Amino acid sequence: MSDLDATTPRVFLARHGETEWTKNGRFTGKTDLSLTANGATQVAGTAAQLVGPGRLIDPVRLARVIVSPRHRARQTFQLLFGEENANNHGHAVDEAKVTFTESIAEWDYGDYEGLVVSEIRACRKEKGLDGERAWDIWRDGCEGGESAEQVADRLDALVSEIRAIQQPYMNGEQPVDVVLVAHGHILRAFVKRWLRYPLEAQLPMMLSPGGIGVLSYRNHDVNEPAFFIGMSLPPQQ
């Protein structure tokens, strides 16, 4: 498979743009923040370059767009696929293909909502936790929120749903790309479960606010999930 022919189905991971809490590293789960002006600019730049007819994410090739219901994700969806993106004029995604769902909402941080990592570790130390090793969300989850096991379970259900959509068309019989519009932690967790890694597995990843990641399958085989570490892009039209 060449990167450009895009015959094997793909899953695009779209992280929302910057918020006020993104800037200082505060854990933002259910708190319904808006994008900053810079965050909107980040997403608009991505949309202009990568979303639209003939671009990397082409609306006519999409089977589903799955969006977190949080406001910052909804704003990002609109900047990518709405009239805000001039590339989309006359090429909007069919509303029937768009789903807003908690299945791709950010990790529920529970008691750690609004805190930074150092504050979380200090709080846990006061409780006598983590005596031998530092807190790690991928292993320890969040007090009052979701455990790693709970996150893995809901993402596994979503992975299965996406594979059921794409499996009949692994050789390009029809375009069935999927886009997830969501958040930093949950999208990185999704990558691990897509690759069938446990969440506690060491797989350092970065996904910038407003950025796009790409998953697919090796050898046109639904049983060989993979991720792109680099790919060629369609020429600009």
Q: Which residues are catalytic?
A: 16, 106
Decide: 42 and 17 in contact? Cβ < 8 Å.
yes
Please name the helix (run of DSSP H) or strand (run of DSSP E) that holds residue 15, with its range, or none: strand 11-15
* Cα(205)–Cα(198) distance, integer angstroms: 14
Decide: 130 and 124 in contact? Cβ < 8 Å.
yes
Listed in sequence order, the residues at least 6 apart from 126 whose beta carbon sits closer than 8 Å to its beta carbon are: none
What's the chain's length in residues?
A: 237
Is the CA virtual torsion 110, 28, 177, 81 positive or negative?
A: positive
Decide: 20 and 28 in contact? Cβ < 8 Å.
no
